[in-house]
Structures are given as structure tokens and as C-alpha cells.
Amino acid sequence: MYKMNRASKKIAAFILVIMMVVSCMPELFTTGEGKAYAADHTIVVGEGTEENPYQIAHADQLNDVRNHLEVPGNYFILTADIDLSSYSTDVGWAPINDFNGNIDGKGYTITGLTINRPIESNIGLFGITSDGSSIANMKLENVNVKGENQVGGLVGRHQNGTISNSYVSGSVSGIFDPISWQNGRSVGGLVGTNEGTINTSYSTAGLKGASYIGGLVGENNGTIDNSYATGNVERASGAGGLVGVNNGTISNSYGSGNVEAPSGAGGLVGENNGTISTSYATGFVEGDYEAGGLVGRNSKSISNSYAVGNVNGYYGIGGLVGLNYREATVSNSYSIGKVTAGSTAGGLIGSNGGTINSSFFDSVTSGQVDAGTGRTTAEMKTISTYEDWNFTSEWYLIEGYYPQLHAIKIKTPTANVASGPVAWKANVTLSTATVSAAVYYTIDGSTPSTSSLLYSSPIVVSNDLTIKAIAAIAGKLDSEMMLASYTIALPSAPMTGALIQGTNVGTTKLNGVAEGMEYSINTAGYQPITATSVDNISVIAGDKISIRVKATEVEPASLAQVLTVGLADIKPATKPSNSSGGGGSSTPTDGKLTLPIGQAGQVSLGDTVTVAIPTGATKKELKLTISKLLDTQNLVTNNQSLVSSIYEILKSFPENFSKPVALTFVFDPANVKKDQRVAVFYYDEAKKGWVEVTSSKINGNRISVEVDHFTKFAVFAVEPTGVVPEPEQLKVPTDITVENKFSDIAKHWAEANIKQAVGKAIVKGYADGTFKPNATVTRAEFAVMLMNALKPQGDGAKLNFTDAAKIGAWAKKAVAQGVQAGIIKGSNDGSFRPNAEVTRAEMAVMIANALGESSQANAATGFADDKEIPAWAKGSVAIVKQASIVQGKNGNEFAPQDQTTRAEAVTVILKLLDQMNK
């Protein structure tokens, strides 16, 4: 007995030692196969309340969620992107089971999820979720998930909880026996089996499995709303682009992936035993038996839905449904895909035993004939075909396209960079979740349309910038508008600059600067600084000189230090006398100066022109005047690019100066094209032409020259050769009254319209008594006619067209008003082309803009030459045709490239006015 007790004590002591050792090694306790889990449950940060949720910033903290589910309803949030690749070895991530809390991904991304558990069920990031759970804003990218049954990228089996605004990309597979086809059941890109609610979620994952395989959900026993899937689905019986088998409710959702299955294959749902409404499918479907563009086998209800994909198979193959059981109903739905089958096929239903109400298929595109439901393509695109359909809240139809669902809108574009301060030259990428939608955007503050810039590459933010964008698909309503605004944090301004008097009369000197800086005068273009000072800057009192550090490859230009020029900063002339005879060193600014013989002096006309007379330039008393010419009609023409006003400078004696006199003019750099330069010209009264003054100097928006005589002067933007074009005879219509009766409009088809338009002062005739109704109209002339009719207020917007200088003075205001009203826009190259004949397509766009109507991309026009109408004009042509403003020519052709005649122009404008007055 003693020996036995002694042995027992030794065993007990040994066990105690083992337990003590193990208790010091908590990492040895694991949950299943794979990576071990800590037993102290202290990895996550927070308290699990709604106010202070558990915070998850890395993989181990996400893994620790499983240890904080003792109390239902705990709250978790992601606070950073998470990489789970550290859990990818062996069988990979162990699914979190019985999740009963609330987790919000806050838009952060989880990558590296790998699960390889081919003989386990309920597989996903979460294996099973319990009643009342909530999963929101979870983003899983490039997952690789393999399981046996109930397999999903996010959740294996979702029980009576809610999943919202979440998505999965990558691949999800249900492993099965390829001979017996056992297992591999209920596999979905997002969820394997759903018994709860899923909304605003999607999956792009590819799917494989044996049965009940869906792009989003394998088996749905709950509710799916406003969700979609784009991944391809293959190797399953009961396979759907969105759901494998539906025993619940699906609404406002779609599938676009291709589906391949032996039987029960559907573009949206493989087998439907529930309710499907306001949903559609676009993918290609292939199956031996019971395959449909929307549903493979239907035993319940389908309404307000459609399918557009082609369907191939052998038996029971339909454009919408493969096999429609006796209890099943299909209502207010359609299909247009081509149907190819060995036997038992239909354009709408492959094999029907149920009820079909007001549903149709395209008999042309499907290649099938079903009694009573087939319609031609033209009929399918006509609203009268669908008498019993709700085109108020369920459907809409854009002329020339098939019906579309109101509930499923094109997704608003998103930017990868949030609004607010960003790094200089940050790249902003725009995208939309809607497959095949194009994104159009503006950066000038205007509202985007399908005529705006087409997004194709990242937008570089080099200055403060606002981006507005929409997404569009032909035949569908445009998306809502995205707006994102960005600001650049600029380096601080240098504060070292200072002004003193310059060396020359009328100049200042900029000190306290350095190489790598730049300066500008009155916000004109910046000039580089290459030394510690800049001398002889021509200025007048009140000018603003801005100084900043130049931009580099890695940093933007700094904020600017702004110095205001005072009289004390300008080198004065020696004792000049002003026009009233007073002395002193002030510079008169009224354009009048009187100087004694040989005296130096300076005078300006406001801040636009400065004249500096050096000492010894005259042998007589000088009386000088500067005036701005207002009547310049005979001095310049519309092919001369004037960038300043014309000034006349006169003196009191005819002789030339004995020393050069300095003239400085302010010009507008905005009117100078990249391939032009600015130069000062004087007007030769004898030759009636402009002659360049050579050897000019430019500082910002000021140009200086030296002359020995006075006359008329102006600054022109010229070609590199420096030649100002000779004046040309302007062929502008002149005033003529209706009573004069034009000699060339009698019995013309537009005679009455021409008289009415002239009477309304919309257009003028020619001085020879003609109207020239069949003459073409230039873009500038049409702009004038249109603005004469609309009579907008104000002077209009600043013209930034690259060829703005070519717009004649007689048309500039009208063009500017049209630009401001959003009626006139330039070409893609930034030009206006004022002298080009306006085409009928261009005219239609301007008229539609005047109506204020929003055009749809590639809208059908109904004209016989619809295909010849440019995409950018189709929507506008459709609008003006619908408004009865334009009509076709012979053979119902619009002739978009034909040049608009004067008669056509006035007729269209009068119809525009009639429409606007209704």
C-alpha cells in the first residue's frame, strides 16, 4: 500500500510540472489547424461598444475577433488595410465561426486571404454568422478560398444577419468528387448560403463547384437587393451569374458573368424557387439542359426583368428561361439574346408549362419563333409594344434602345483620392462600378455630359482643382454626378524681397532675391531670376510685383510675396514739369506733360502706357499728350491679333527726337497663343499699315521699345515672322429693312421666315438688296444670329479659344455671350474656328444647348442616316427633332455634315423661339 501511494504521488507531481510548463506557453493552444491563437484575448484595442469599438489594424487583431464573441452584439471596426498573407500557409486562414457582432470595414481593404480546406464546410473569412450579426463596408481583394460545402469569400453560411456595401474579388471554389459529383455545394463569390439580408454588395470572383453555384451567393434563402456579380461560373448544376439556387427574394440586382453548367444554368439564377423582380443578366449562358439567359429553371415568379446574353444548349433552352414549371409565372419581362439549341428552344422560354404575361423576345436577334411573344427589333425599341408596363417608376425607354429599369442605375463615378488637401501632382483615378460604362468629366466647373472629356488616364493635380464626373452607357440614363475638390499645400512665400529705385528713369530694382526664384508684374507671366537683384523693371506707382520660389520636379511653386510699387521705389526724371506748370519729381498719369528744352521727364496714361523722355532729347519746349483711340474700325481687322488698345501719342513739334524715347505698354498675355510673340507696332499714315518697332524688351505683361517719333502705337500678337496681316474687306451683312424686299427671296421656301427674322433683328440683308438665302453661314455668323434672337444680358465670358484673335470684333460679344450661356463650346483642340461654315450637326448641338436639354449619349434620332451622325451630336439631334425644330431632307436624311444655309439658320432659330415660348 505504501509503495502504491508513493507511485501515485510521483505521477501527480509529474502531471503538475507538465501543466505548469504548458500554462507558460499559451501559444500552444490552437483552434483547428493552422496558425495558433493567444489565450489572453488582449490583442484587439477597444471595449467592444458602439462608442468605443474593438479596433483592428493588422492580421493578428482580425484573427483575435474570434476571442471576443462571448457577448453578442460587440462592435468591431477596421482602422487600416490588412494583409492576411501571414495566415496563408498549410490550410490557411481558419474561418471565424458563430460571429454574432457588428463589424465595419470602414472602406479598408483586406488582401491575402487564403483558405484551403477541401473537406470542411462553412468556409470564408467568417465561417458562420449568427442571428443579428452585421457586416458592412468589407472589401476583400484577390481571395483564394477552397472548401467543401457552403463556401463564400466573405461568409460561408450567413444566418439572419445583414451584409451591406461589401465586395469580394479573386476565386472561390467548392471542392467535389469529379466522378460522383458529391459535395462542392452552395458556393458563392460573397456568401455560400444566405439566410439573411444582403444589399449594395457585389463580387467579381470566379466560381467553381458541383451544384448551386452563384457569382454572389450559392444558395439564397433570404433577401438580396441592389447587388451584382461579374465573375464567371462553371462546372455546376444549378448555376447562376448572381445566385445558384434562389428560394428567397432577389430585386434590383444583376449578373454579367458567363455561366457554364450541365443543367439549370441561368445568367442571373440557375434555379428559381422564389421571387425575382427588377433584375437582369447580360452574360453568355451554356448548358445541356434547362438553360436560360436569366433563369435556368423557374418554379415561382419572375417580373420586370430581362436578359440580353446569348444562350447555347440542347434541350429546354430559352432567351429568358430554360424550363418554366406549371406553377411558375413570368410577367413584364423580355430577352434579346440569340438562342441556339438541338431541340426544344424558344426565344423567351425553352419549355413552358407556366404562365407568361406581357413578356416579349426579339424575334430578329434570337433567331427563334414563339407564338404571340416575338417582336421585331424595331418593335422591341418602341414603347407602344409594352402596353401593360409601368413606364413611370419601373421602366424607361430611350428612343432607339431597349427598355431599361429605373431601379438599377448606372453607378456614380468615384475617385481614388478623397476631396481635400493632396500632394502636388497627385494622380486621381476615376472609375464606376457599372460594367461597360464610360466616365465623362470636367475640370472647369461646368456640369459634365457625354460631350465632356472622356476619362482615359489619371488626372494630375498640379493646382487647386475641382473634378465633376458622370458615368454613361448608350440607351441608359446617365449616373448622378460625382464632385471632388482638391487643394495643393504650397510652400511658404519668400519674405526677403525689397524694392529700391532702378538705374533708369521710370524703373524699380528688386533686391533680396536669388537664383531659383521668379517674379511677375500684376500677375502676368513669371520671369526667372538669375541673380540677387533685378534692375530696371518698368513700373508705375501701384503696380504689384509678386516673388516666389520656382517649381521643381518634386515641389510646386511657393506662395508669392507681393510688393506694391510706391513712388519712392521708381527712379524719377530730373525736375519734370507737369501740364499745370508745377515742379517736383512726380509722374503725371493723365497722359499730359510739358517739358522745357532738353529736360527729362516721364508721363503715363493710367497704368497702360508710359513715356520716358531722356535729357537732351529735344531742342524745343515739349508738349506731349497720350490718348486711347476708341474708333479703331479702319485701323484693324478681324485677322489682326491686337493685345492692347491703340494709343495716339502726339508732341508739339514735327521734328524727330535727337535721343531715343522709351515707350512702355501693358498688354494682355491671355490673348497670346503659344506659337506667337508680342511686338509693338506704329501706324504708318502714308502707307496705311502697321510697322514693327524692333528691339523690344518684355517684363511680365509690359513691353518696352525706344522710338524717335510719335504716332499711333499698339501691341500685336504676331507669328514668328512678325508680320501683321494686311486689312481685308469685311463681308458683313448690313442693315436693310423688310420693306426693301430682297431681290432673291421671292418664292423661296423660307421667304416668310427670312422676312420675320429680319423684322426681329435676328439677321441682316446685304447692301445690294440681296439676302443670299442659299449662302452658307460661318460659326461666328450663326453665333451672332442666335444671340440676336435670344438677347442675353451682359458682355459674356472671357474667350479662351486658341484662335480667339480670329473672331471679328462684330462677333466677339455674341460668341462670348454664347460661351457664358453654355450654348457655344470649342473644338477638342481648344479652337472656335469662327470662319468655318457651321454644319447641321454643329447647329443642332447649339440649338439643343439653348433649349437647356441634357442630351443622352448616342440617342437614336430616327433619321435614315442615323449612323452618319457623330456620337457627340446624336443626343442633340434627337432633342431638336423631338421638338420639331429640325426635320430631315430628302429620304428622311439629316445630312449632319452639310453646311447650314442662311435660310436654314433663320428657320431653325425661329422654331427655337417658338419652342421656348411654349
Q: Is residue 2 in some structural domain?
A: no
Asked whether residue 895 falls in the same domain as residue 797, the answer is yes
Asked whether residue 484 falls in the same domain as residue 522, the answer is no
Q: Give the pLDDT confidence score for residue 768 in this predicted structure.
A: 63
User: For residue 220, what is the DSSP state?
Assistant: E
- Backbone φ and ψ for 357, nearest 5 degrees, come out as -120, 125
- In whole angstroms, what is the distance from residue 601 CA to residue 270 CA? 94
Nearest Cα residue to 339 out of 295, 379, 298, 285: 285
Under a CB-based contact definition with an 8 Å cutoff, are residues 452 and 472 in contact? no
Asked whether residue 749 falls in the same domain as residue 838, the answer is yes
Asked whether residue 550 falls in the same domain as residue 655, the answer is no
- In whole angstroms, what is the distance from residue 857 CA to residue 472 CA? 7
- In whole angstroms, what is the distance from residue 279 CA to residue 225 CA? 9
Torsion 882-884-886-891 (CA) sign: positive
Asked whether residue 511 falls in the same domain as residue 584, the answer is no
* Residues of the domain holding 627: 577-718
Which 3 state secondary structure label does DSSP give 653? coil
Asked whether residue 558 falls in the same domain as residue 431, the answer is no
Which 3 state secondary structure label does DSSP give 540? coil
CATH of the domain at 657: 2.60.220.30
Name residue, grid cell 449619349: 857
- In whole angstroms, what is the distance from residue 538 CA to residue 862 CA? 64
Asked whether residue 766 falls in the same domain as residue 691, the answer is no
Name residue, grid cell 479596433: 55
**pTM for this model (two decimals):** 0.56
Strand pairing category for 374-375 and 438-442: unpaired
Q: Is residue 688 in some structural domain?
A: yes
Under a CB-based contact definition with an 8 Å cutoff, are residues 326 and 297 in contact? no
Q: Give the pLDDT confidence score for residue 475 in this predicted structure.
A: 83
Q: Is residue 341 in some structural domain?
A: no
Nearest Cα residue to 661 out of 649, 645, 646: 649
Name residue, grid cell 499559451: 26
- In whole angstroms, what is the distance from residue 43 CA to residue 494 CA? 49
Which of 690, 718, 746 is a domain's end point?
A: 718
Name residue, grid cell 490588412: 82
Residues of the chain whose pLDDT is less than 70? 1-42, 179-181, 370-372, 524, 573-586, 638-639, 720-741, 766-768, 854-858, 918
- In whole angstroms, what is the distance from residue 501 CA to residue 602 CA? 15
Q: Give the pLDDT confidence score for residue 742 in this predicted structure.
A: 77
- Provide CB contacts within 8 A for 603, sequence distance 6+: 587, 588, 589, 591, 592, 593, 610, 611, 624, 626
Which of 436, 457, 488 is a domain's end point?
A: 488
Asked whether residue 746 falls in the same domain as residue 876, the answer is yes
Q: Give the pLDDT confidence score for residue 918 in this predicted structure.
A: 66
C-alpha cell at 784: 451672332
- In whole angstroms, what is the distance from residue 101 CA to residue 78 CA? 14
What is the total count of domains within the chain? 4
Helix then strand count (H, E) for the chain reads 9, 74
SS3 per-residue string spanning 35-76? CCCCCCCCCCECCCCCCCCEEECCHHHHHHHHHHCCCCCCEE
DSSP string, 673-716: -TT-EEEEEEEETTTTEEEEEPS-EEETTEEEEEESS-SEEEEE
Which 3 state secondary structure label does DSSP give 146? strand
- In whole angstroms, what is the distance from residue 664 CA to residue 659 CA? 16
Q: Give the pLDDT confidence score for residue 491 in this predicted structure.
A: 85
Asked whether residue 755 falls in the same domain as residue 868, the answer is yes
Q: Give the pLDDT confidence score for residue 720 in this predicted structure.
A: 67
Asked whether residue 484 falls in the same domain as residue 502, the answer is no
Which of 450, 467, 488 is a domain's end point?
A: 488
- Backbone φ and ψ for 799, nearest 5 degrees, come out as -90, 115
Under a CB-based contact definition with an 8 Å cutoff, are residues 312 and 288 in contact? no
Other beta carbons within 10 angstroms of residue 95's beta carbon come to 26
Asked whether residue 536 falls in the same domain as residue 657, the answer is no
Name residue, grid cell 489565450: 39
CATH of the domain at 435: 2.60.40
Q: Is residue 711 in some structural domain?
A: yes
- In whole angstroms, what is the distance from residue 880 CA to residue 907 CA? 13
DSSP string, 877-910: HHHHHHTTS----GGG---TTSBPBHHHHHHHHH
Q: Is residue 855 in some structural domain?
A: yes
Q: Is residue 396 in some structural domain?
A: no
Asked whether residue 777 falls in the same domain as residue 901, the answer is yes
User: For residue 852, what is the DSSP state?
Assistant: T
Q: What count of residues does the chain have? A: 918
- In whole angstroms, what is the distance from residue 897 CA to residue 312 CA? 43
Q: Is residue 102 in some structural domain?
A: no
- In whole angstroms, what is the distance from residue 276 CA to residue 627 CA? 80
Q: Give the pLDDT confidence score for residue 858 in this predicted structure.
A: 63
679 to 238, 274, 710, 715, 878: CA distances (angstroms): 79, 79, 17, 6, 48
Q: Is residue 21 in some structural domain?
A: no
pLDDT in tens, 237-269: 899 999 999 999 999 999 999 999 999 999 999
